[in-house]
């Protein structure tokens, strides 16, 4: 084998390994899909909204959503809701974990993407671009339609029961005996 032939063969092996490794590895953005994305429509003049979706991880390893960006907001943060002494509070989180072969559900009252300092009014049916960035630096653009979200309390009321709302959103259920004959 000549020295020139060995050099060409070595170069071919190096190039083959450089091409094959990234193709086998894949990125977090390739392994994670976003389904049913939407952004909550808010009243005109309101400066914040939230983006919600289900992130599904098809890979055999865990991934993390590290940050999100959107041109419609001055700042975008990953948030969750926590119950602190009976009061629900929003808190930023450093990342959102998406388990291998699992999913992370971003929904109202839970994990979500917080859009802060809205630069424009969000109208029902508009599409909001949201860029998701993962632990390996890869990113995925998601187009999230703006939707009106009905916040309603579903409750089974028995005949003769009434509900009194107290300051602080505590509920007391009372039974009206006069209506129960």
Per-residue pLDDT tens, the chain, 181 aa: give them.
Answer: 566 655 555 545 544 444 433 434 589 999 999 999 999 999 988 999 999 999 999 999 999 999 999 999 999 999 999 888 989 899 999 999 999 999 999 999 999 999 999 999 999 999 999 999 999 999 999 999 999 987 544 444 445 544 444 444 434 333 333 444 3
Q: Which of 112, 146, 166, 154 is nearest to 44 (CA)?
A: 146
Q: Which of 33, 78, 85, 23 is nearest to 59 (CA)?
A: 33
Q: What is the pTM of this model?
A: 0.70
Residue 160: inside a domain: no
Residue 17: inside a domain: no
- Read off the CATH number of the domain in which 111 is found: 2.60.40.1890
Residue 13: inside a domain: no
Please count the structural domains in the chain: 1
- CA–CA gap between residue 132 and residue 35 (Å, rounded): 13
All residues at 6 or more sequence positions from 1 whose CB lies less than 8 Å from its CB, including other chains? none
Residue 55: inside a domain: yes
Residue 174: inside a domain: no
Residue 80: inside a domain: yes
Give buried/exposed letters for 159-174 (b at 16+ CB in 10 A, else e). eeeeeeeeeeeeeeee
What's residue 7's pLDDT? Answer: 58
What's residue 179's pLDDT? Answer: 40
What's residue 6's pLDDT? Answer: 58
Domain containing residue 52: 28-147
Residue 108: inside a domain: yes
All residues at 6 or more sequence positions from 51 whose CB lies less than 8 Å from its CB, including other chains? 37, 38, 39, 40, 68, 70, 106, 112, 113, 115, 128, 130, 144
Residue 156: inside a domain: no
């Amino acid at each position: 084998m000549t020295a020139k032939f060995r050099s060409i063969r070595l170069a071919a092996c190096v190039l083959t390994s450089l091409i094959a490794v990234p193709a086998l590895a894949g990125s977090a953005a390739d392994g994670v899909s976003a389904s049913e994305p939407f952004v909550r429509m808010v009243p005109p003049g309101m400066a914040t909204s939230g983006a919600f979706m289900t992130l599904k991880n098809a890979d055999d390893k865990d991934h993390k959503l590290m940050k999100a960006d959107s041109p419609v907001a001055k700042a975008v943060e990953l948030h969750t809701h926590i119950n602190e002494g009976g009061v629900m509070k929003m808190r930023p989180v450093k990342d959102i974990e998406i388990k291998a072969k699992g999913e992370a559900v971003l929904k109202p009252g839970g994990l979500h993407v917080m859009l802060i300092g809205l630069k424009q009014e969000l109208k029902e049916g508009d599409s909001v671009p949201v860029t998701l960035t993962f632990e390996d630096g890869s990113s995925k653009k998601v187009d999230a339609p703006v939707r009106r979200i009905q916040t309603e309390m579903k409750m089974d009321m028995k005949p003769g029961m009434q509900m009194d709302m107290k300051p602080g959103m505590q509920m007391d259920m009372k039974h009206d005996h006069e209506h129960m004959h």
